């Protein structure tokens, strides 16, 4: 509603701090919620496929929550998804089951490959987010500079017109 916004800036009342806190909560809590939800969904899918897959491919879908959390919430939620998925895979799908230990080399390779892949995804996602933020900041700065230059051009145009008018009066 228009009466709930600042007339000068058009923003909701509370200014930048309130907006920044709201964005942080939306990004932070939302990111971790998405990470948790995607881990639970993928875990349920892998658990449903457990009679078919058995001990094979214990981290089959576990990379999906890492990608989703990295895209949605950034580094923290992606690392949370990777950690939670690895603990669930260790407990439920890697032999010996229902322990946090690994009994054979195949389990170590599955877990190690999953963790390396997860960390690479987290690293690339964080680099992408940082680069995007820098690009947005540079674009905002360029836009502000353009506005300054346009105002300066308009001011110079007015001065040139005034100078031309003055020259015409002197010649007449």
86-92: Cβ within 8 A, 24+ apart: 86/59, 86/62, 86/111, 86/114, 86/115, 86/118, 88/39, 88/43, 88/62, 89/58, 89/59, 89/62, 89/114, 92/43, 92/46, 92/47, 92/50
Span 53-70, pLDDT tens digits: 988 888 889 999 999 999
Q: How far apart are CA 94 and CA 168, in angstroms?
A: 91
Dig out the tokens for 75 from the structure: 């580094």
- The model's confidence at residue 154, banded by pLDDT at 50, 70 and 90, is very high
Per-residue pLDDT at 55:
84
* 148 vs 5, higher pLDDT: 148
Per-residue pLDDT at 128:
92
- The number of beta carbons lying within 10 Å of the beta carbon of residue 84 is 20
- Tell me how far apart the 2 most distant CA atoms of the chain are, in Å: 102
Mean model confidence pLDDT for the chain = 86
Per-residue pLDDT at 9:
63
- The model's confidence at residue 39, banded by pLDDT at 50, 70 and 90, is very high
**pLDDT exceeds cutoff 70 at 4:** no
Q: How far apart are CA 29 and CA 167, in angstroms?
A: 66
């Amino acid at each position: 509603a228009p009466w709930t916004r600042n007339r000068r800036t058009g923003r909701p009342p509370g200014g930048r701090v309130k907006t920044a806190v709201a964005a942080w909560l939306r990004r932070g809590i939302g990111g971790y919620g998405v990470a948790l939800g995607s881990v639970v969904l993928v875990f349920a899918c892998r658990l449903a496929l457990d009679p078919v897959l058995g001990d094979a491919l214990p981290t089959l879908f576990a990379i999906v929550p890492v990608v989703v959390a990295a895209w949605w919430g950034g580094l923290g939620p992606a690392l949370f998804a990777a950690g939670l998925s690895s603990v669930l895979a260790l407990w439920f799908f890697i032999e010996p089951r229902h322990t946090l230990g690994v009994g054979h080399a195949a389990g170590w390779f599955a877990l190690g490959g999953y963790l390396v892949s997860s960390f690479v995804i987290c690293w690339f996602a964080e680099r992408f987010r940082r680069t995007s933020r820098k690009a947005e900041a540079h674009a905002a700065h360029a836009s502000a500079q353009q506005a300054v230059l346009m105002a300066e051009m308009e001011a110079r145009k007015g001065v040139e017109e005034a100078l031309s008018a003055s020259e015409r009066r002197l010649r007449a």
